[in-house]
Amino acid sequence: MGSCGAVGSVRARYLVFFQYLGTDFNGVAAVRGNPRAVGVLNFLEEAAKRLNSVDPVRFTISSRTDAGVHALSNAAHLDIQRRPGQSPFSPEVVAKALNTHLKHPAIRVLKAFRVPNDFHARHAATSRTYQYRLATGCSWPNQLPVFEQNVCWALQTEYLDMAAMQEAAQHLLGTHDFSAFQSAGSPVTNTVRTLRRVSVSPGPASPFVLPEGSRRLQFWTLEFESQSFLYRQVRRMTAVLVAVGLGILAPTQVKVILESQDPLGKYQARVAPARGLFLKSVLYDNFGPTS
């Protein structure tokens, strides 16, 4: 697994799974040259300096997430090259050292694995699952418990037509050109993706809702699984499904939007807020999910 850089030194590659609350970050990617913005990787790379690698440690992420988006489990690979005569760190030591030296409480490394030096965290991923959380029963968004305000989209309605949303979601399943749901700013030229699973269901009750609010507040969960997604595809699909749930769109109109391949249409151009979106898991053939 190792290769020599400096004479006698060994470079080891690791796959790390990590989670974060995205509220304070300008996305997961490291931000360079902007003192007013910071990415999750800025903190991970700063912590990795304490590993004393011969070459600076850089994280190659599996899945980019935007400002305000959260991750229950994202993944990245990194290389650590120790000085001649020093053995590679064990994965457990790498995970513990990163957590020990992280300077932001909203980030935590879950687990690390030693991987071959040609392993790539983005290209090797076989599945990614995103979860989106909704809340209904709020006349105003600030009526949500403070613990929920940055982790779900509060809809100013008492009711969502769950059956209609589930029917509409079926039109998104399978292999399609999803360009109608891609936001501008992506360098991707191939917009064909395979959506393996999509679900719309009542979510678990929030433990942060007081008894007097539990009768009116209802939480909902949308999940999407694919090997990869287009830029903001999940948030745009969520916005369209919410429009169906509110009765603004009929379920069959989702099929029309998908087949239009037009990202600038009246309804598909809407983007659900970042705060409700979670990267739930990134899976690999040889490395199972972590929690």
Of the candidates 24, 66, 118, 177, the residue annotated as catalytic is: 66
- HEC-encoded secondary structure of the chain: CCECCCCCCCEEEEEEEEEECHHHCCCCCCCCCCCCCCCHHHHHHHHHHHHCCCCCCCCEECCCCCCCCEEEEEEEEEEEECCCCCCCCCHHHHHHHHHHHCCCCCEEEEEEEEECCCCCCCCCCCEEEEEEEEEECCCCHHHCCCCCCCCCEECCCCCCCHHHHHHHHHCCCEEEECHHHCCCCCCCCCCEEEEEEEEEEECCCCCCCCHHHHCCCEEEEEEEEECCCCCCHHHHHHHHHHHHHCCCCCHHHHHHHHHHCCCCCCCCCCCCCHHHEEEEEEECCCCCCCC
User: Is 159 known as a binding-site position?
Assistant: no
Is 262 designated active site?
Answer: no
State the Cα–Cα distance between residues 95 and 167, nearest whole angstrom. Answer: 43
Query: Which amino acid type is present at position 156?
Result: Q
State the Cα–Cα distance between residues 231 and 186, nearest whole angstrom. Answer: 6
Query: Which amino acid type is present at position 281?
Result: S
Q: Enumerate the active-site residues.
A: 66
Q: List the binding residues for substrate.
A: 130
Q: List the binding residues.
A: 130
